[in-house]
Amino acid sequence: MSRPAAMSGFPEFLPAQRTVELAVIDALTRTFELHGFASVETRAVEPLEQLLSKGETSKEVYVLRRLQADRDGDGGSDAGIGLHFDLTVPFARYVVENAGKLEFPFRRYQVQKVWRGERPQEGRYREFTQADIDIVGRDTLAFHHDVEVARVMAEAMAALPVPRLTLQVNNRRLIQGFYAGLGATDLDAVMRVIDKLDKLPADAVAKMLVAEAGLTDDQASLCLQLAEIRTPDTSFVERVRALGVESSLLDQGLAELAAVVEGCASVSGDRVQVVADLRIARGLDYYTGTVFETLMEGFEGLGSICSGGRYDALATDGRATYPGVGISLGVSRMLVPLLAAGRMTASRSVPSAVLVALVDEESRDRSDDVANRLRARGIPTEVAAAPQKFGKQIRTAERRGIPFVWFPGSTGSGGPGDPGDTEGRADQVKDIRSGDQVDADPDTWTPPTDDLRPQVVVSTLRQAQDDASSTTRNKEQQQ
């Protein structure tokens, strides 16, 4: 095999990077489970007709074909299946398929890979991991679940060792009620144009609101003033009221958005800030009430890394409709740039907290025995692969980031070449960072809690650059 090249759009991690990803996924699922969300996994494939019912995404689908389908003469049996491009379409299908066996409102989390046949570009991948939570009701779903979903995801994100996140919340009823209240007739057109504020200056958008959405200059100005409102608390309500537009849909939207922002107040803080941002519309998606987007500090160019909202009908099976509210975190979208920039790594590339040294091949049982005693008490341990000089074995631990090296003592039997050692030497354990070496018993010794598992190490951008260049230097010196 010649050395294969990485495949564009299909990111893969080295073990230390994968350790960071696992820690992030563990932190997320722990929070989801604390709030009663059950894990669901769906198959990777769906019928094409299911995948294509959202027209806009059709160009992104990977279609599957059995390599030998023609030869077997049953090409039709797999015809029309493709890889899912998100976790919402398969979850909607799962809910309808299993509705009789699920308890509603049904809370589920789902952490899985999804695939999109897009041209790879910065922050876009062909294979990536998403972490979704949704709450789905049968026929009805109370509004307080919107607050719940926002709070759970904010709490989950606050536990992540990533740059500060801002969860921006808005409400479709609020903006549509506002547009209707000021006399707009094509509400979707207004929303579509307002959505362009990300890319176009305000005066250009104002002109488009007149030209494409049929607004007067005054109406357009009010829409832009609405979109400028962004508050970390419920003071947005007053500012909207001050614009003098009224409608009952607007009232409902204001009350709902205020409830979400207020409900997240206790979670909003240094790690995750929850704000009302009246520009968020989630363009073409099918949301009907609450909408979410999330930006990561210093990585705003990635766009939203965690989005979602309320939909009145996630699915319907003719007998019932299933309204839902959900939010989807782009795990790869968030982590791949952070890992590539060296902003996060793990304290070691292996789970092992201890490397048990090996005196000689004949005493491997002795070293294995120490390792098994440590493992029995939950301490990840490996045994040296070969009985090299202890200095070499210590350097092996160092290269893997293993903090402790264990030296088995003599068994006390006093070998023939060691007549003075009839009482045996105790085992010793060395912290190779400090050099401290102490007597230790494999049935009682315990490493500091922080050393038990690999820790996620976060560095600032500046540190990361320094580390990267020093690593390069070290490598050059070694070669």
Binders in 318-337 for its own copies, by CB under 8 A: 318
Q: Which stretch binds its own copies (CB under 8 A): 190-198, 234-242, 370-378, 413-421?
A: 370-378
DSSP state of 112: E
Q: Which is nearer to its own copies, 41 or 439 (CB)?
A: 41
CA R_g for the chain? 29
DSSP 388-405: --HHHHHHHHHHHT--EE
130 marked as binding residue: yes
Which amino acid is present at 302? L
Instruction: Considering only residues 390 through 449, tell me which ones interact with its own copies, judged by CB under 8 A.
Output: 396, 399-400
- Residue 37 engages its own copies in binding (rule: CB under 8 A): yes
Give the β-pairing of 38-39 and 106-115: parallel
Cis peptide before 403 (omega within 30 of 0): no
Residues 6 or more apart whose Cβ sits within 8 Å of residue 90: 42, 43, 46, 84
Contacts of 458 (CB under 8 A, 6+ apart): 161, 343, 344
Nearest CB to its own copies, comparing residues 69 and 426: 69
* Identified binder of its own copies from the candidate list 27, 54, 62, 390, rule CB under 8 A: 62
Question: Which region among 43-51, 218-226, 302-310, 323-331 touches its own copies (by CB under 8 A)?
Answer: 43-51
Residue number with CB closer to its own copies (77 or 465):
77
CA 76 to chain centre: 37
Whether the CB-CB separation of 362 and 334 falls below 8 Å is answered with: no
Q: Rounded distance, CA 129 to CA 333, Å?
A: 8
Q: Which two tokens stand for residue 471?
A: 């690593």
Q: Which is nearer to its own copies, 369 or 421 (CB)?
A: 369
Q: Hey, which bits of 163-206 come out as E strands?
A: 165-171
473 binds its own copies (CB under 8 A): no
Q: Is 173 annotated as a binding residue?
A: no
Region of 188-196, 218-226, 300-308, 372-380 interacting with its own copies (CB under 8 A): 372-380
- Listed in sequence order, the residues at least 6 apart from 416 whose beta carbon sits closer than 8 Å to its beta carbon are none
Amino acid at 207: K
Query: Considering only residues 378-397, where is the footprint of its own copies by CB under 8 A?
Result: 378-382, 385-386, 396
| Residues from 114 through 143 that contact its own copies (CB under 8 A) | 115, 117, 127, 142
88 annotated binding-site participant: yes
Edge-first strand listing for the sheet containing 38-39: 38-39, 106-115, 127-136, 321-330, 306-316, 290-296, 165-171, 272-277, 230-231
CB of 431 to its own copies, least distance (A): 18
Structure tokens belonging to residue 422: 């009839």
Find out whether 282 is annotated in a ligand binding site.
yes
Nearest distance, CB of residue 155 and its own copies, angstroms: 9
176 is in an annotated binding site: no
Shortest Å, Cβ 3 to its own copies:
5
Piece in contact with its own copies (CB under 8 A), picked from 28-36, 205-213, 234-242, 334-342: 28-36
Subset of 262-321 contacting its own copies (CB under 8 A): 266, 315-318
Interface segment toward its own copies; rule CB under 8 A; list 217-225, 232-240, 276-284, 374-382: 374-382
What is the DSSP track for 289-340? SEEEEEEETT-GGG--SEEEEEEEEEEE-SS-EEEEEEEEEEHHHHHHHHHH
479 CB contacts (<8 Å, ≥6 apart)? Answer: none
- The residue from 56, 68, 188, 424 that contacts its own copies (CB under 8 A) is 68
To its own copies, the closest distance from the beta carbon of 271 in angstroms equals 16
The CA angle 165-167-171, to the nearest 5 degrees, is 170
Q: Looking at 27, 35, 233, 255, which residue binds its own copies (CB under 8 A)?
A: 35
From 27, 54, 79, 102, residue interacting with its own copies (rule: CB under 8 A): 102
Residues 2-22, buried b or exposed e (16+ Cβ, 10 A)?
Answer: eeeeeeebebeeeebbebbbb
Pairing of β 321-330 and β 437-439: unpaired
Partner residues linked to 1 by β-bridges: none
Ligand-binding annotation for 134, yes or no, is: yes
Span near its own copies by CB under 8 A; candidates 67-75, 181-189, 299-307, 415-423: 67-75
Q: Does 44 bind its own copies (CB under 8 A)?
A: yes
| Interface of this chain with its own copies, residues 336 to 355, rule: CB under 8 A | 349-352
Shortest spacing between CB 355 and its own copies, in angstroms = 8
Cβ proximity to its own copies: between 14 and 461 the closer is: 14
Nearer to its own copies, 68 or 185 (CB): 68
- Which residues from 165-184 bind its own copies, rule CB under 8 A? none
8 A C-beta contact, residue 164 and residue 273: yes
Output the smallest distance, CB 52 to its own copies, in A.
8
Give the residue ranges of the annotated binding site for L-histidine.
Answer: 86-88, 116, 130, 134, 282, 286-287
